[in-house]
């Protein structure tokens, strides 16, 4: 006994093929784009003073601008001497107009030496980042 397919069966399979190809291509493109959004982090793009800077005098504040808005309640900055003593005013604030900017005031007087800036940020999408850098006050 020989079975022959109906004439419309081949055409129906051909019509479904483009849909399958579109879904496949869409899945590949989504996989390539998706991780970039899924792994977004608030990272510094500008630090004042700059990492490794040698300054004649200490700045009044340390200011860090991030790649994206940071959560004011769970982000912060500390500034310490090389020996670990804090020299900041313990008043980290997020800029009211630009939610990508965190800053902290420094106590006076700041003596010559190396200072370590430690920061942590919680991006609005929930990803946490942290890091540190140093700067030097020469006089």
Residue 18: the pLDDT is 64
**pLDDT-based confidence at residue 36 (cuts at 50, 70, 90):** very low
Report the C-alpha gap between 55 and 113 in whole angstroms. Answer: 10
Is cis: bond before 49, omega within 30 of 0? yes
What is the separation, in whole angstroms, between the first and last Cα of the chain? 100
Residue 112: the pLDDT is 96
Higher pLDDT, 38 or 134: 134
pLDDT tens, position by position, 44-74: 999 999 999 999 999 999 999 999 999 988 9
**Phi, psi (5° rounding) for residue 24?**
-65, -50
**pLDDT-based confidence at residue 113 (cuts at 50, 70, 90):** very high
Instruction: Report pTM.
Output: 0.71
Report percent pLDDT > 70 for the chain.
71
Burial class (CB in 10 A: 0-12, 13-18, 19+), 82: exposed
Helix (H, G, I), strand (E, B) or coil at 102: strand
Higher pLDDT, 90 or 6: 90
């Amino acid at each position: 006994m020989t079975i022959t397919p109906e004439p419309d069966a081949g055409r129906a399979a051909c019509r479904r093929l483009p849909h399958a190809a579109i879904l496949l291509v869409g899945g590949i493109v989504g996989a390539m784009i998706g991780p970039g959004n899924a792994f977004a982090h608030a990272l510094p793009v500008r630090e004042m003073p700059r990492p490794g800077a040698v300054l004649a005098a200490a700045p009044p504040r340390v200011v860090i601008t991030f790649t994206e808005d940071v959560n004011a309640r769970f982000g912060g900055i500390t500034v310490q001497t090389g020996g670990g003593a804090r020299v900041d005013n313990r008043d980290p604030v997020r800029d009211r107009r630009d939610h990508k900017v965190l800053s902290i005031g420094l106590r006076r007087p700041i003596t010559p030496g190396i200072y370590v800036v430690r920061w942590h940020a919680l991006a609005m999408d929930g990803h946490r980042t942290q890091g540190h850098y140093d700067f030097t006050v020469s006089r």
